[in-house]
Amino acid sequence: MARHPELLIPASSLEVLKTAVIFGADAVYIGGEAFGLRAKAKNFSMEDMREGIRFAHAHDVKVYVTANILAHNEDLPGVREYFKELKEIGPDAFIIADPAVFEIAGEICPEIERHISTQANNTNYGTYLFWWKQGAKRVVSARELSLAEIKEIREHIPEEMEIESFVHGAMCISYSGRCLLSNYFTGRDANRGACTHPCRWKYFIMEETRPGEYMPVYENERGTYIFNSKDLCMIEHIPELIDAGIDSLKIEGRMKTALYVATVARTYRKALDDYAEDPKLYRKNMPWYLDQISNCTYRQFTTGFYFGKPGDESQIYDSNTYVKEYTYLGIISGGKDGMYRIEQRNKFSVGEVVEIMKPNGENVEVTVRRLVDEEGNEQESAPHPKQVLYVDLGSRADMYDILRRAEP
């Protein structure tokens, strides 16, 4: 059976959740203030989570809540109380890695689906069947699986069981994201949500009998980022993902900005819809997808493990920094007297040329005509992050449109 996969988008805050919904998500995954693997993300208070779920459901979009830490004894009482709170606000599913957490969620919230996180190392159909028998609706595939392996899993599991796979974003270099480096180097446990991302650092070696004498690790002449991976991007391989039987295409990035989320969501949404309408239309529009997907920050792209074990070309040796094409300025959140309200994110000025980025794929170039603060005072620039301003753009903008500026 041909499957039309869900587009699953990350959200770090209520603002980003709303952006994901408006720009094309079928479902959004978020983390609360505890028991998720992105402790450094803004994350959601219970109040924000309640509002976010209400907003998403009003737009027929699902919300999944991550509770995917690998729990220690001391965590379990808090986990139990956490699920009691979540039961009241009604997310569509939990994303869980730990069997104890899984059982607690099933006991307290039997009406809410449980999905198995990639952290649980899901690499074979026997594992999928095990979790299905325990009551899981969906399993997230390990990043180490090829499309051929995922297709074989699909052939061995019930039709109604769902497969979710990452298709875009940063890839943890450790097996299925279970990294010990952070804990070893800094005492911050990646498996309990506090990863310091040491796989992005630059390394040297030191010989035991020559303390203080550092030697570079030359992967090649351009650098030594021996753990660093390029970002995953499967926008050119939607047909293969669908053929493998994947039900949910997952974007990585629960610490990303609204601009990143809007860009990726809008691009994959159009690619999926174009392919569903006509595979020829999808192939025809490929240059647009590739152009748009490069407009958000990224580290250069790879297809990861999907077509076999990655080689050296999937590593980045010249830099651990992001390529950046656009700067995020703010989201349209209202308007009055022909001007649009934004909460400014980066500096911009009257007279600058910026773009209005729309969910339907349009990018409208405009010139900033006026800036006015909440008290009605004219400003020449917007230098202070999170300042609320009203902007005259000389063009129509709608709620949730994004303002961005192209970088030279």
Cα separation, 258 vs 43, whole angstroms: 14
Structure confidence at residue 407 (pLDDT) = 81
Taking residues 157-170, what's their average pLDDT?
Answer: 95
Structure confidence at residue 44 (pLDDT) = 86
Taking residues 303-314, what's their average pLDDT?
Answer: 75
Structure confidence at residue 304 (pLDDT) = 84
Token reading at 173: 């270099």
Helix axes 14-22, 258-277, angle to 10 degrees: 20
Structure confidence at residue 174 (pLDDT) = 66
Global pTM reads: 0.86
Reference 259, options 297, 312, 221; nearest CA is: 297
Cα separation, 261 vs 267, whole angstroms: 10
Contact 15, 397 (CB under 8 A): no
The strand pair at 353-357 and 402-406 is best described as antiparallel
Structure confidence at residue 311 (pLDDT) = 63
Reference 253, options 187, 313, 299, 314; nearest CA is: 299
Cα separation, 320 vs 20, whole angstroms: 27
Reference 137, options 167, 168, 165, 116; nearest CA is: 116
DSSP β-bridge partners for residue 18: none
Taking residues 276-292, what's their average pLDDT?
Answer: 96
Residue with the bigger pLDDT between 380 and 179: it is 380
Among 11-15, 195-199, 335-339, the minimum mean pLDDT is found in 195-199
Residue with the bigger pLDDT between 279 and 31: it is 279
Is residue 323's pLDDT more than 80? no
**Binning pLDDT at 50, 70 and 90, where does residue 189 land?**
low
- pLDDT tens sequence across 234-270: 999 999 999 999 999 999 987 788 999 999 999 999 9
Cα separation, 136 vs 122, whole angstroms: 13
- At residue 54, φ and ψ (nearest 5 deg) are -60, -45
Strands (E), 282-347: 301-302, 326-336, 339-343
Cα separation, 84 vs 105, whole angstroms: 9
Is residue 377's pLDDT more than 70? yes
Residue with the bigger pLDDT between 346 and 40: it is 346
**Cα dihedral 366, 367, 373, 377 sign:** negative
Q: Please report, as a single letter, which amino acid is at residue 196.
A: T
Q: Please report, as a single letter, which amino acid is at residue 379.
A: Q
Cα separation, 218 vs 322, whole angstroms: 21
Token reading at 333: 């959140």
| Burial zone of 295 (CB within 10 Å; 0-12 exposed, 13-18 middle, 19+ buried) | buried
Cα separation, 264 vs 19, whole angstroms: 11
| Burial zone of 361 (CB within 10 Å; 0-12 exposed, 13-18 middle, 19+ buried) | middle
* Distance (Å) of CA 40 to CA 17, 206, 234, 272, 322: 17, 31, 27, 31, 19
Helix (H, G, I), strand (E, B) or coil at 157: coil
- pLDDT tens sequence across 212-231: 766 655 544 444 455 566 78
- At residue 365, φ and ψ (nearest 5 deg) are -80, 130
Among 107-111, 189-193, 223-227, 339-343, the minimum mean pLDDT is found in 223-227
Structure confidence at residue 224 (pLDDT) = 47
Is residue 354's pLDDT more than 60? yes
Structure confidence at residue 195 (pLDDT) = 67
The domains of the chain, with CATH numbers, are: 6-171+229-323 (3.20.20.70), 176-216 (no CATH), 326-406 (2.40.30.10)
**Binning pLDDT at 50, 70 and 90, where does residue 201 land?**
low
Cα separation, 297 vs 356, whole angstroms: 18
Structure confidence at residue 404 (pLDDT) = 94
Structure confidence at residue 317 (pLDDT) = 44
